[in-house]
Structure 1
Amino acid sequence: VLDPDLALFPTGTEQDVTITTQTFARLDLPVKRVFITENEINFLAFPPVPRSMVIFGAGYGFEMLSEAGWLQDRSIYYWGDIDTHGFAILDQLRGHFPAAASFLMDRETLLAHLPYWGLEPQPERRDLHRLNSVEHDLYDDLRQNRLSDRLRLEQERIGFDWIKRALTKL
Protein backbone atom coordinates (compact mmCIF):
# COMPACT_ATOMS: atom_id res chain seq x y z
CA VAL A 1 0.00 0.00 0.00
CA LEU A 2 1.55 3.28 -1.14
CA ASP A 3 -0.61 5.56 1.00
CA PRO A 4 0.45 5.67 4.68
CA ASP A 5 -3.13 6.58 5.63
CA LEU A 6 -4.33 3.22 4.26
CA ALA A 7 -1.75 0.99 5.94
CA LEU A 8 -2.69 -2.66 6.29
CA PHE A 9 -1.14 -2.78 9.74
CA PRO A 10 -0.95 -0.03 12.39
CA THR A 11 2.85 -0.13 12.58
CA GLY A 12 3.69 3.07 10.73
CA THR A 13 6.44 1.18 8.90
CA GLU A 14 6.76 -0.22 5.41
CA GLN A 15 3.78 -2.27 4.28
CA ASP A 16 5.58 -4.86 2.11
CA VAL A 17 3.67 -8.10 2.70
CA THR A 18 3.19 -11.46 1.02
CA ILE A 19 -0.28 -12.95 1.22
CA THR A 20 -2.18 -15.86 -0.28
CA THR A 21 -4.32 -15.53 -3.38
CA GLN A 22 -7.46 -16.11 -1.31
CA THR A 23 -6.54 -13.40 1.21
CA PHE A 24 -5.73 -10.94 -1.57
CA ALA A 25 -9.06 -11.68 -3.27
CA ARG A 26 -10.90 -10.69 -0.07
CA LEU A 27 -8.95 -7.50 0.69
CA ASP A 28 -11.09 -4.95 -1.18
CA LEU A 29 -8.76 -2.13 -0.16
CA PRO A 30 -9.92 1.51 -0.33
CA VAL A 31 -7.44 2.33 -3.09
CA LYS A 32 -8.34 3.85 -6.43
CA ARG A 33 -5.13 2.95 -8.30
CA VAL A 34 -3.18 -0.29 -8.48
CA PHE A 35 0.27 -0.39 -10.04
CA ILE A 36 1.76 -3.70 -11.16
CA THR A 37 5.51 -3.80 -11.68
CA GLU A 38 7.71 -6.67 -12.80
CA ASN A 39 10.89 -5.59 -11.03
CA GLU A 40 11.41 -6.11 -7.31
CA ILE A 41 13.62 -3.04 -6.93
CA ASN A 42 10.94 -0.84 -8.50
CA PHE A 43 8.31 -2.49 -6.32
CA LEU A 44 10.28 -1.78 -3.14
CA ALA A 45 11.29 1.77 -4.15
CA PHE A 46 7.93 2.85 -5.60
CA PRO A 47 7.17 6.34 -4.25
CA PRO A 48 4.17 7.08 -2.02
CA VAL A 49 0.98 7.72 -3.99
CA PRO A 50 -2.32 8.66 -2.32
CA ARG A 51 -5.04 5.97 -2.40
CA SER A 52 -2.77 3.58 -4.32
CA MET A 53 -0.95 0.29 -3.97
CA VAL A 54 1.76 -1.51 -5.91
CA ILE A 55 1.90 -5.23 -6.66
CA PHE A 56 5.07 -7.11 -7.52
CA GLY A 57 3.92 -8.99 -10.62
CA ALA A 58 4.68 -12.53 -11.64
CA GLY A 59 5.57 -12.16 -15.29
CA TYR A 60 2.92 -13.86 -17.36
CA GLY A 61 0.85 -15.17 -14.41
CA PHE A 62 -2.24 -13.09 -13.62
CA GLU A 63 -4.63 -15.81 -12.48
CA MET A 64 -4.22 -14.83 -8.82
CA LEU A 65 -5.11 -11.22 -9.57
CA SER A 66 -8.16 -12.18 -11.61
CA GLU A 67 -9.66 -13.82 -8.50
CA ALA A 68 -9.75 -10.41 -6.80
CA GLY A 69 -13.01 -9.09 -8.22
CA TRP A 70 -12.54 -5.79 -6.38
CA LEU A 71 -9.70 -4.94 -8.81
CA GLN A 72 -12.26 -4.55 -11.61
CA ASP A 73 -13.36 -1.29 -9.97
CA ARG A 74 -9.84 0.15 -9.71
CA SER A 75 -7.56 1.89 -12.19
CA ILE A 76 -4.82 -0.61 -12.98
CA TYR A 77 -1.46 0.48 -14.36
CA TYR A 78 1.05 -2.04 -15.66
CA TRP A 79 4.72 -1.06 -15.67
CA GLY A 80 6.96 -3.51 -17.46
CA ASP A 81 10.17 -3.35 -19.43
CA ILE A 82 9.93 -1.53 -22.73
CA ASP A 83 10.61 -4.59 -24.84
CA THR A 84 8.54 -7.13 -26.72
CA HIS A 85 7.93 -9.30 -23.64
CA GLY A 86 6.84 -6.28 -21.59
CA PHE A 87 4.14 -5.59 -24.18
CA ALA A 88 3.21 -9.28 -24.37
CA ILE A 89 2.68 -9.31 -20.59
CA LEU A 90 0.55 -6.15 -20.85
CA ASP A 91 -1.48 -7.83 -23.60
CA GLN A 92 -2.05 -10.87 -21.37
CA LEU A 93 -3.00 -8.71 -18.37
CA ARG A 94 -5.69 -7.06 -20.50
CA GLY A 95 -7.20 -10.51 -21.00
CA HIS A 96 -8.11 -10.32 -17.30
CA PHE A 97 -8.40 -6.54 -16.90
CA PRO A 98 -9.30 -4.97 -20.26
CA ALA A 99 -9.07 -1.39 -18.95
CA ALA A 100 -5.51 -1.79 -17.60
CA ALA A 101 -3.25 1.04 -18.76
CA SER A 102 0.45 0.94 -19.48
CA PHE A 103 2.69 3.10 -17.30
CA LEU A 104 6.08 4.37 -18.50
CA MET A 105 5.98 2.03 -21.51
CA ASP A 106 5.93 4.77 -24.13
CA ARG A 107 8.20 6.08 -26.87
CA GLU A 108 9.01 9.30 -24.96
CA THR A 109 10.31 7.32 -21.97
CA LEU A 110 12.27 4.99 -24.26
CA LEU A 111 13.95 7.80 -26.20
CA ALA A 112 14.73 9.78 -23.04
CA HIS A 113 16.71 6.83 -21.68
CA LEU A 114 18.82 5.96 -24.74
CA PRO A 115 22.06 5.52 -22.73
CA TYR A 116 20.38 2.68 -20.82
CA TRP A 117 19.16 0.63 -23.78
CA GLY A 118 20.07 -3.01 -23.71
CA LEU A 119 19.46 -6.21 -25.66
CA GLU A 120 16.40 -8.41 -25.28
CA PRO A 121 17.65 -12.04 -25.35
CA GLN A 122 14.72 -13.66 -27.19
CA PRO A 123 12.20 -11.13 -28.52
CA GLU A 124 8.52 -11.97 -28.86
CA ARG A 125 7.31 -11.95 -32.46
CA ARG A 126 3.60 -12.82 -32.29
CA ASP A 127 0.78 -10.39 -32.94
CA LEU A 128 -0.73 -8.78 -29.85
CA HIS A 129 -4.37 -7.77 -30.17
CA ARG A 130 -5.06 -6.01 -26.86
CA LEU A 131 -2.61 -3.12 -27.22
CA ASN A 132 -3.85 0.35 -28.08
CA SER A 133 -2.58 1.95 -31.30
CA VAL A 134 0.28 3.87 -29.63
CA GLU A 135 1.48 0.78 -27.74
CA HIS A 136 1.10 -1.36 -30.85
CA ASP A 137 3.19 1.04 -32.95
CA LEU A 138 6.02 0.89 -30.42
CA TYR A 139 5.69 -2.90 -30.08
CA ASP A 140 5.94 -3.24 -33.88
CA ASP A 141 9.03 -1.01 -33.93
CA LEU A 142 10.60 -3.22 -31.26
CA ARG A 143 9.76 -6.58 -32.84
CA GLN A 144 10.81 -5.36 -36.31
CA ASN A 145 14.09 -3.92 -34.90
CA ARG A 146 13.33 -0.48 -36.39
CA LEU A 147 14.92 1.46 -33.52
CA SER A 148 17.77 -0.90 -32.67
CA ASP A 149 18.45 -4.63 -32.74
CA ARG A 150 16.51 -6.50 -30.01
CA LEU A 151 15.99 -3.26 -28.09
CA ARG A 152 15.07 -3.37 -24.44
CA LEU A 153 14.80 -0.70 -21.77
CA GLU A 154 14.53 -2.41 -18.41
CA GLN A 155 12.18 -0.61 -16.05
CA GLU A 156 14.77 -0.31 -13.29
CA ARG A 157 16.87 1.88 -15.64
CA ILE A 158 14.23 4.61 -15.71
CA GLY A 159 15.15 7.60 -13.55
CA PHE A 160 13.33 8.08 -10.26
CA ASP A 161 12.52 11.72 -11.08
CA TRP A 162 10.99 10.54 -14.38
CA ILE A 163 8.78 8.13 -12.42
CA LYS A 164 7.66 10.78 -9.95
CA ARG A 165 6.89 13.21 -12.77
CA ALA A 166 4.79 10.58 -14.58
CA LEU A 167 2.83 9.87 -11.38
CA THR A 168 1.83 13.53 -11.11
CA LYS A 169 0.19 13.27 -14.55
CA LEU A 170 -2.20 10.48 -13.51
Structure 2
Amino acid sequence: MKWLAHKDLVYWGDIDTHGFAILNSVRRSFGGARSMLMDRATLLAHEEQWVGEPNPTNEHLEALLPDEASLYTDLVEGVLGSSVRLEQERISYAAVLDATRQCR
Protein backbone atom coordinates (compact mmCIF):
# COMPACT_ATOMS: atom_id res chain seq x y z
CA MET A 1 0.00 0.00 0.00
CA LYS A 2 2.98 2.33 -0.35
CA TRP A 3 1.37 3.88 -3.42
CA LEU A 4 -1.35 5.34 -1.17
CA ALA A 5 1.22 7.42 0.68
CA HIS A 6 1.53 9.60 -2.42
CA LYS A 7 -2.21 10.18 -2.83
CA ASP A 8 -4.47 12.88 -1.44
CA LEU A 9 -6.55 10.77 0.96
CA VAL A 10 -9.86 11.92 2.38
CA TYR A 11 -11.61 9.87 5.04
CA TRP A 12 -15.32 10.19 5.73
CA GLY A 13 -16.92 8.11 8.42
CA ASP A 14 -19.64 8.27 10.99
CA ILE A 15 -19.35 11.03 13.55
CA ASP A 16 -19.02 8.84 16.61
CA THR A 17 -16.20 7.51 18.75
CA HIS A 18 -15.47 4.60 16.41
CA GLY A 19 -15.47 6.86 13.34
CA PHE A 20 -12.76 8.95 14.97
CA ALA A 21 -10.86 5.81 16.00
CA ILE A 22 -10.84 4.70 12.36
CA LEU A 23 -9.68 8.15 11.24
CA ASN A 24 -6.91 7.95 13.83
CA SER A 25 -5.85 4.57 12.46
CA VAL A 26 -5.83 5.87 8.88
CA ARG A 27 -3.67 8.82 9.94
CA ARG A 28 -1.19 6.57 11.72
CA SER A 29 -0.53 4.95 8.34
CA PHE A 30 -1.10 8.00 6.14
CA GLY A 31 -0.31 11.15 8.10
CA GLY A 32 -1.59 13.51 5.45
CA ALA A 33 -5.09 12.04 5.31
CA ARG A 34 -7.85 14.61 5.71
CA SER A 35 -11.31 14.12 7.13
CA MET A 36 -14.50 15.25 5.47
CA LEU A 37 -17.83 15.97 7.18
CA MET A 38 -16.49 14.83 10.55
CA ASP A 39 -16.76 18.12 12.37
CA ARG A 40 -18.90 19.79 15.01
CA ALA A 41 -20.76 21.99 12.49
CA THR A 42 -21.89 18.95 10.49
CA LEU A 43 -22.93 17.12 13.65
CA LEU A 44 -24.93 20.04 15.02
CA ALA A 45 -26.56 20.77 11.64
CA HIS A 46 -27.96 17.23 11.60
CA GLU A 47 -29.11 16.85 15.20
CA GLU A 48 -32.48 15.45 14.11
CA GLN A 49 -30.57 12.56 12.48
CA TRP A 50 -28.60 11.50 15.54
CA VAL A 51 -28.86 7.91 16.73
CA GLY A 52 -27.21 6.11 19.62
CA GLU A 53 -23.77 4.56 19.33
CA PRO A 54 -24.13 1.00 20.69
CA ASN A 55 -20.63 0.51 22.19
CA PRO A 56 -18.64 3.76 22.33
CA THR A 57 -14.88 3.59 22.72
CA ASN A 58 -12.74 5.92 24.80
CA GLU A 59 -9.23 5.04 23.68
CA HIS A 60 -6.50 7.66 23.34
CA LEU A 61 -6.39 8.93 19.73
CA GLU A 62 -3.13 10.76 19.15
CA ALA A 63 -3.44 11.38 15.41
CA LEU A 64 -6.56 13.57 15.47
CA LEU A 65 -6.33 17.27 14.69
CA PRO A 66 -7.28 19.64 17.55
CA ASP A 67 -10.88 20.26 16.37
CA GLU A 68 -11.41 16.54 15.78
CA ALA A 69 -9.91 15.66 19.17
CA SER A 70 -12.16 18.21 20.88
CA LEU A 71 -15.29 16.74 19.29
CA TYR A 72 -14.12 13.20 20.05
CA THR A 73 -13.61 14.15 23.71
CA ASP A 74 -17.09 15.68 23.85
CA LEU A 75 -18.55 12.47 22.39
CA VAL A 76 -16.66 10.31 24.89
CA GLU A 77 -17.69 12.52 27.81
CA GLY A 78 -21.33 12.77 26.70
CA VAL A 79 -21.24 16.57 26.47
CA LEU A 80 -23.76 16.56 23.59
CA GLY A 81 -25.80 13.66 24.93
CA SER A 82 -25.35 10.00 25.69
CA SER A 83 -23.66 7.94 22.95
CA VAL A 84 -24.28 10.49 20.17
CA ARG A 85 -23.78 9.16 16.67
CA LEU A 86 -24.35 10.67 13.23
CA GLU A 87 -24.11 7.98 10.58
CA GLN A 88 -22.62 9.23 7.33
CA GLU A 89 -25.64 8.14 5.29
CA ARG A 90 -27.85 10.45 7.39
CA ILE A 91 -25.96 13.58 6.32
CA SER A 92 -27.87 15.70 3.84
CA TYR A 93 -27.10 15.23 0.17
CA ALA A 94 -26.46 18.98 -0.19
CA ALA A 95 -23.80 18.84 2.54
CA VAL A 96 -22.14 15.87 0.86
CA LEU A 97 -22.08 17.62 -2.53
CA ASP A 98 -20.62 20.77 -1.01
CA ALA A 99 -17.94 18.84 0.88
CA THR A 100 -16.88 16.77 -2.11
CA ARG A 101 -16.57 19.90 -4.24
CA GLN A 102 -14.29 21.44 -1.60
CA CYS A 103 -12.08 18.33 -1.53
CA ARG A 104 -11.06 18.64 -5.17
User: What is the TM-score normalised by the length of structure 1?
Assistant: 0.59
Looking at secondary structure, tell me which structure has more helix per residue: 2
Q: 1:169 Cα shift?
A: 1.9
Q: Which runs of 5+ in 2 are unaligned?
A: none
Q: Which amino acid aligns with 2:34?
A: A
Aligned residue pair count: 103
Question: What is the distance in 1 between the residues matched to 2:55 and 2:45?
Answer: 24
Q: 1:149 Cα shift?
A: 0.5
Aligned pairs for 1:6-155 within 5 A: 68-155=1-88
Please list the CA deviations of residues 6-43 of structure 1 after superposition, one character each: whole Å capped at 9, or x if unmatched: xxxxxxxxxxxxxxxxxxxxxxxxxxxxxxxxxxxxxx
Q: Secondary structure at the match of 1:142?
A: helix
The runs of at least 4 aligned residues of structure 1 exceeding 4 Å deviation read none
Percent of aligned pairs sharing the same letter: 47
Looking at secondary structure, tell me which structure has more strand per residue: 1
Structure scoring higher RCO (CA < 8 A, sep ≥ 6) equals: 2
Q: Secondary structure at the match of 1:75?
A: coil
Question: What is the distance in 1 between the residues matched to 2:75 and 2:43?
Answer: 11
Please list the CA deviations of residues 104-149 of structure 1 after superposition, one character each: whole Å capped at 9, or x if unmatched: 1001110110100010001011111000100000000000000011
Q: Which runs of 5+ in 1 are unaligned?
A: 1-67
Q: Secondary structure at the match of 1:168?
A: helix
Question: What is the distance in 2 between the residues matched to 1:117 and 1:123?
Answer: 14
User: What is the TM-score normalised by the length of structure 2?
Assistant: 0.95
